Structures are given as structure tokens and as C-alpha cells.
Amino acid sequence: MPDAFELTPSTHLDLSTLEQLLADKRPVTLGAEARQRITDCHHYLRDRLAESDSPIYGINTGFGALCNTSIAPEERQQLQVNLVMSHACGTGDEVPADLVRLMLLLKVQSLSYGNSGAQLQTVQRLLDFYNRDILPVVYQQGSLGASGDLAPLAHLCLPLLGLGEVNYQGYRLAAADVLHLFSWEPIALEAKEGLALLNGTQFMLAYGVHCLLRARRVAQAADVIGALSLEAFDGRTEPFDDRLHQVRPHAGQLTVARRMRELLAGSQLQQQEKTAVQDPYSFRCVPQVHGASRDALGYVAQVFETECNAVTDNPNIFPDTDAILSGGNFHGQPLALALDFLAIAVAELGSISERRTYQLISGQRGLPPFLVAEPGLNSGFMIPQYTAASIVSQNKQLCTPASVDSIVSSNGQEDHVSMGSNGATKARRVVENVEQVLGIELMNAVQALAFRRPNQSSPQLEKVVEAFRQKVKFVSRDRVLYPDLHAAAAFVRDYDWT
């Protein structure tokens, strides 16, 4: 069992650390500083309410458009329970298990700063769910991404009360039964806790972190697969010359051009005399297109990492300055814009990939049409390009920004919403789609390289070819191809492209 990772408010939780935690399933604990700050804030709120009946939103008032309705002291606990129950209105597909785990961790991280008023036992129970792989059943639809991800987070937190359902050890169980299994009592929510649990961006953020980590691998894969396609197409290396990129020094462009030079170093194919004076844009402009997507992902990473180390509920409590402030830290606009940008950036990697596939099957530069020895009798790689084109077209539809939409809710009190949750689920579909599109390009590139033998590509690229051929064999005549397409997409997801 690996050593536990300690969450503490003074430690910056970066994306690399999150990726490692999720991969290793390393246990997580609340550090002493976090425990103290959570406890101090909760005690401050309890004492403040005992001393004064001044209205504090969502603590001794109703919610949303009911913010001017006073709640009697004896009803404040029920107010928080009612909030969680009434907001559990999710629908659609279930959130995948790995994303629910990430939601739990990010919610605990946000509460650990001690600005939310939650009880220590509430935060600890969420962490117990995370460490024991007790994953609440959460649904993808229902959040406007404004007052936080209200519906998804309500489902995430229902099991604290012994309500709702969880997935545990391969079974879907009533939350009450799992609590009984561990001899845990349901949490008795106190003032403000329902708000602390439901106000927050952890649904959007979990999807964003997940998509970004996959998108980074996609960007790495796109460079390597693009280099393989260039070799298979008998393309030129001049477009990657450092001098070209130093006079237009976008960071991503410089990085991709350097990678292309490194990937092609030592290639026998590049030593052959080239017949074409120029290559199509999908080959020649790889640094500019892939690089722009990398730069976009860099911005997205900055937004997500900031949010991973933020307090996103409302109101926020500041015991040191004796203040409880109602504001809008739950609003998902920063994430909504970033999620739309992520989807667009990744979709472009798929768009240019499909064009390279199209060039490879077009019968140019000594390659047979559709990359089979007997075209006509065999359709070869004709239809995988259709599939890639279909997926790229769908991505164009999915990349319509969610963040430009807003629908008024709560009788006009919540009159501008981010729709970041829709952006989040769309972004995940785009990333999955591009993994498949790149897999199709990889199939075509490796197939086309076989027609360049005995000349070899670079040692780096030949290593990729060898690994891929363990999963997908050469197509000498027509066969059922969908298993190969699926295997190629899995290869893009799983291979170490660094």
C-alpha cells in the first residue's frame, strides 16, 4: 500500500499530482492544517449564529429566489437536508466511475481551506468514500454551471445522508446499505453544510481535468502519428526547419517543429530524393496547427489548476476577519470558456488528421489507391476515411460553444448561467472522437509505410510501427476492420507517446 497523500491548504495541488493520484489509487488524508481550519470555521459559524439572527443567505434564509424568506433556528438543519434532497434531479447517463472519484477528491480539496463551514466529519466521510472506492451514482445532465453544479453534486452527497445509490465493488447498492456495512451513521447536516456541498464546480472541474489529461496525450500522439504519415506520404522536412519557426515564435509551434525534427532524425526515407516541391497543408503546417492546439491546452491547464486550488461554494466564511460574504465563486464561467476552448483545440487535431488520412489513400506519390495491392477487388482503407470524416463532422457540431448560452432560472435571481456542465460532457466526447480519428490515421500511415520498404523511417518511428503491429496487422486483402479501428483507438489512448 503506497503512503497516503496529505491534503493541506498550503500545498498547491497540480495536475500532474492529480494524474498520479488517480493512476496509483493512492489513499488521501486530511493534513493537520486542513483539519484545524475546517474545525475553526465550523465553530465560528456555530457561534456566530448563536449570537445573532441577522440574515445570512442560505443559512437562516431560503435559497435562490427564496433568499428573503427567514428560517427559524430549529428548522436550519432540515433546511440543509431539504436542499440536498430537492436538488438531486440529475438525469441522462451516469458519470463514469473515474470521474466520480475525481469529483469526490476535488470537493474535499475545496472544503479543506476552511472557508465553507462544513463539519470535519462531513469532509472526512467524503474522503472515506474516495479512499474506499464507494462511488455515488451521479448523472450527467441537470447542471447549469452557475450556482455550481447543483444537481450532480446533490447526487454526489446524497449518500452522506444515507440516501441515493452508490457503486461499490462492482455492485449498485442503496447508500443506506453501504453505510450499514461500514457501521457508519448518516451525517446530520448542520447550518450551511448543504450549500457547502452543492455549491461548487467539481462536476465541470472533474470533467475538465480528465479531458485535459487525455488531451495532452492526444497532442503528443498527434505529433508522432503526423510524422509517420509524413514519412508514408514521402513528405519533406523543410517545413520543420528551426529558422522558419524562430521568426514566428509561438511556443506551441516551436515545440511541435522541434519534435518533428527529432522524430524524423535518422530516417532513410528522408534521404531519398523528393519529387514534390511542396506538401499539402495537413503535412506542411503541422507545427502551426498542432502548436496552436498545444498553446490553447496550456491556457486551459492554467484555468483548471487554479480551480483545483480554489474555494467555490457560497457564501464564504472568513473567521479571521469575522466576515461571512455572499458572492459568486460558484459560477462556472471560467471553466465553461476553457472547456469550449479545449474541445475546439482537440477537434482541430482530429480535423487535420483526417486530411492526412485522405491524402494517404488518394493514390499519390507511388502509393496504391486505398493502400491495398489490388484496389477494385479490395476496398482497402476507403471506408475508415469515411468513418474519420463522419467523426470530424460530429466534432464540428459538438464544438458549438456551450458558454455562449444562458437560460434564466430561479425566478430571475440566477439570471446568467455558464452552461459549463454541457461544455464538460461535450468536451469528453470530442476527446474520445479524436482518439479514434488519430487511430484511423495511424492505421493508414503504418499500412502505407509498408509500401516504402525496404527503406526505413527513423528509429523512434519504427519503434511505434513495431508496437502498433502487435495490435493491428497489415491488411493484404479486405477483412472486417472495425476491431482494428477499436484497437487503434485504444493504442492511441494507452501508448506512451513521450
Residues catalogued as catalytic: 57
What's the CA gap between 259 and 240, in Å, rounded? Answer: 9
Q: Is residue 281 within 8 Å of residue 288, measured between CB atoms?
A: no
Distance CA 276, CA 283 (A): 13
**What letters, b where the CB count within 10 A reaches 16 and e where it falls short, cover 138-148?**
bbbebbbbbbb
For 398, residues 6+ apart whose C-beta sits below 8 A from its C-beta are: 343, 347, 426, 429, 430, 433
Place of cell 476507403: 382
Tell me 97's DSSP state: H
* Phi-psi category of residue 288: left, alpha or beta, with phi > 0 → left and psi -120 to 50 → alpha: alpha
Which amino acid makes up residue 427?
A
- Residue 254, SS3? helix
- Strand 139-141 relative to strand 91-94: parallel, antiparallel, unpaired? antiparallel
Residues 93, 95: Cα–Cα separation, whole Å:
6
Number of residues written out for the chain: 498
CA distance 197 to 357: 47
* Phi-psi group of 170: left, alpha or beta (phi > 0 → left; psi -120 to 50 → alpha; rest → beta): left
Q: How far apart are CA 329 and CA 348, in angstroms?
A: 32
HEC readout, 50-82: HHCCCCCCCCCECCHHHCCCECCHHHHHHHHHH
CB 101 within 8 Å of CB 21: no
State how far the Cα of 402 lies from the Cα of 457, in Å rounded to an integer. 43
Give the residues across from 136 on adjacent strands.
Answer: 166
Angle between helices 420-449 and 333-360 in degrees, nearest 10:
20
* Residue type present at position 418: S
Cell representation of residue 440: 484511423
Helix (H, G, I), strand (E, B) or coil at 459: helix
Three-class SS of residue 137?
A: coil
Contact indicator for 139, 151 with CB cutoff of 8 Å: yes
Neighbours of 56 (CB within 10 A): 19
